[in-house]
Structure 1
Amino acid sequence: MPSFTAYTVETAPAQSRPMLQQLQQAFGLIPNIAATMAGSPVLINGFVGLFQRVHASSLTEPQIQTVLLTNAVANASEWPVAFHTALALKQGVHRADIDALRHGALPADPALAALSALARTLIEKRGHLAESDQKRFLEAGFTIEQILEVIAVVAASTITNYTSSVTHPPLEAQFDAFAWHAPVP
């Protein structure tokens, strides 16, 4: 199995360094997942650029974290589940809703449940949403444009999930309390 390097600002390819610096400023650290992504300037630059746009969307931070956590669980991606659990708590998502998501269930909050259901359906049906899937989302108070924004969040999180599944970055100590292990199939 290949070993992936976890880069620092000093050791990363020159084209990856600005993104690592941005992440350092945003989080106070370079997440291990980003440190491994930095080996490909194409990947790290695309990832950070897409996430910047996602966080500038009309979705709230708790809503975005709900989609990101849903996707990490659906993709059985352990590092992102721990990371997005911590961020969801920081953004005020109720612990019971986070626990439901971590167990593959829908949150009790109706809006978060609609977001989670749409995201999971996008993943499970590989983007082929039925009219009824879209209708349920819209009936929960969301807009047509927000369906497209959820697609962007799913795309961004897929980058993280797949990178984690391929590179297996170690979990940072501050996220140990949120460690999660995918159910054995």
Structure 2
Amino acid sequence: MTSYPMHTVNTAPAEAKTPLAVLRDTFGFVPAGAALMANSPALLNSFFSAFGHFRGGGTFSPAERQVLLLSNAVANASEWATAFHTLEALADGVAPDVVEAIRRRERPGDPRLAALSGLTTAFVEKRGHLDETDVKAFTAAGFSDGRLFEVVTGVAISAMTNYTANVARPPLEPAVEPHAWTAGPVAGG
């Protein structure tokens, strides 16, 4: 359990109240990652803005977006984010077998989703230093070069929530608890 303050709309600094209210109204609760990020309004507002552009102006479908975000959470060994994005992926129509494959650190059977998950994981594991094989697998699955850069947005916003959750280790919300996940040993750590 975290020792860091987990803010509500009422307890958050003034600059963090609006994003928390929007998230609460969207999910029916303030996600723990956001409740923690509210300790730094700069972090929460940066995340909120970037995610708004990623979701509202991005070209990935809701299911593709969740495959990307869940793959990031697993690659970052973020237990809270993996559980949260499992809930969201299933709600956005990602097939349960795809979700379970990603949670096991495997590629989904669907070639397009496997390419998206693989590229996302490569970004995290290689710290952005992709090789030609990574890029070719992604574009061969029908994704454009421009969408490769859209993956950067997903990786960046995931880093904000994943790292926050990894530092603070928040409890899972009741809606997220059924999707609990354990990272196991983390490479390099």
Partner of 1:82: 83
1:143 equivalent in alignment to 2:160:
no
Structure-2-length-normalised TM-score: 0.94
Separation (CA, whole Å) in 2 of partners of 1:21 and 1:173: 19
Separation (CA, whole Å) in 1 of partners of 2:33 and 2:122: 25
Instruction: Give, in angstroms, the shift of residue 52 of structure 1.
Output: 0.7
Identity %: 45
Separation (CA, whole Å) in 2 of partners of 1:3 and 1:97: 34
Letter in 2 for 1:135: K
Separation (CA, whole Å) in 1 of partners of 2:76 and 2:33: 16
Partner of 2:20: 20
**SS of residue matched to 2:63:** helix
Partner of 2:174: 173
Separation (CA, whole Å) in 2 of partners of 1:150 and 1:157: 10
Note the residue ranges of structure 1 that are not aligned, 5 or more in a row. none
1:68 equivalent in alignment to 2:49:
no
Letter in 1 for 2:14: A
Partner of 2:3: 3
Moved more, 8-17 or 128-137: 128-137
Partner of 1:94: 95
Separation (CA, whole Å) in 1 of partners of 2:122 and 2:36: 29
Separation (CA, whole Å) in 2 of partners of 1:59 and 1:119: 13
Separation (CA, whole Å) in 2 of partners of 1:133 and 1:32: 33
Letter in 2 for 1:46: S
Separation (CA, whole Å) in 2 of partners of 1:138 and 1:112: 12
Give runs of aligned pairs for residues 23-172 of structure 1, distance below 5 A. Answer: 23-56=23-56, 57-172=58-173
Letter in 1 for 2:53: R
Q: Deviation per CA, 1:22-62, whole angstroms, max 9, x where unpaired?
A: 11121111111111110110010001111111112000111
Note the residue ranges of structure 2 that are not aligned, 5 or more in a row. none
Q: Deviation per CA, 1:56-86, whole angstroms, max 9, x where unpaired?
A: 2000111110011111111111000100001
Equivalenced residue count is 185
Structure-1-length-normalised TM-score: 0.96
Letter in 1 for 2:38: A
Separation (CA, whole Å) in 2 of partners of 1:97 and 1:32: 25
Q: Deviation per CA, 1:3-23, whole angstroms, max 9, x where unpaired?
A: 210111111100001111111
* Deviant stretches of 4+, over 6 Å: none
Separation (CA, whole Å) in 1 of partners of 2:26 and 2:132: 38
Separation (CA, whole Å) in 2 of partners of 1:29 and 1:182: 24
